[in-house]
Amino acid sequence: MVNTKSDFEVRKKEIENYFSFLEILDKDETVLKYVKNGKITEEEISKDIQRILIANSFLILYNLIESTVRNSILAIYEKIKEDEVNYTVLSSNLKKIWLQKKTKNLNKSNLEEIIKSVVENEIIALTQDDINISGNIDAEKIRGLAKEIGFEKSNNERNGQNLVTIKNKRNGLAHGNHTFYDVGKDYTVNDINRYKQETFEYLSEVITNIEIFITTKKYTVNPINS
């Protein structure tokens, strides 16, 4: 989880820097000074530009959500490989995930491969390709992943309630269904700051829960202190 936590902190810092810039622009009259043809030029930052930049924050926040969840789950899969876990000692939840992967395009050859893997106690291999979350992460999806994999979900059901808004606005922008102006005009910098803080807190809890899942070896049939 070291790399996951490090990446999370780097991305958080990037977001904090961006939001600090938004707060600077959140004034009645914001003027940009720059040098043009050797002369200092001043130009007022329009409200339209501010709204576009506010909308862009949904993309930045969603990027943090998806990358953090993916990296956290990948940390579990990497730990399984590191500990050389085979099917026999794999937890029941992760057995189901592995079998779903192996039987996705089931044929005689696949079946023989599955049997061979189990009988010969081959190390379980799950990768980033087995994490299907692209464009679809919110608090409900994370709770579903927690149930599917077996790590603890949030203790606060209200926590993360605005992740669905972040997901929907991001998807609307990414797929071209909405313009940045149309999304940004409905939100203030204060609104976005609340979304940012909620996202940070929720993801921190996810990281903590998955870290506990790994350290107590709940990816096996014999977890620690069970």
Q: Tens of pLDDT along the chain (226 residues)?
A: 899 999 999 999 999 999 999 988 877 677 777 777 888 888 787 888 899 999 999 999 999 999 999 999 999 999 999 999 999 999 999 999 999 888 887 776 778 888 888 988 899 999 888 888 877 899 999 999 999 999 987 666 557 889 999 999 999 999 999 999 999 999 999 999 999 999 999 999 999 999 999 999 999 998 987 5
Alpha-carbon span 130 to 120, nearest angstrom: 23
Q: Which of 77, 71, 68 is nearest to 202 (CA)?
A: 68
- How big, in percent rounded to 5, are the helix, strand and coil portions of the chain? 65, 5, 30
SS3 label, residue 171: helix
Q: Any bridge partners for residue 220, and if so which?
A: 90
Alpha-carbon span 139 to 141, nearest angstrom: 5
State if pTM tops 0.95: no
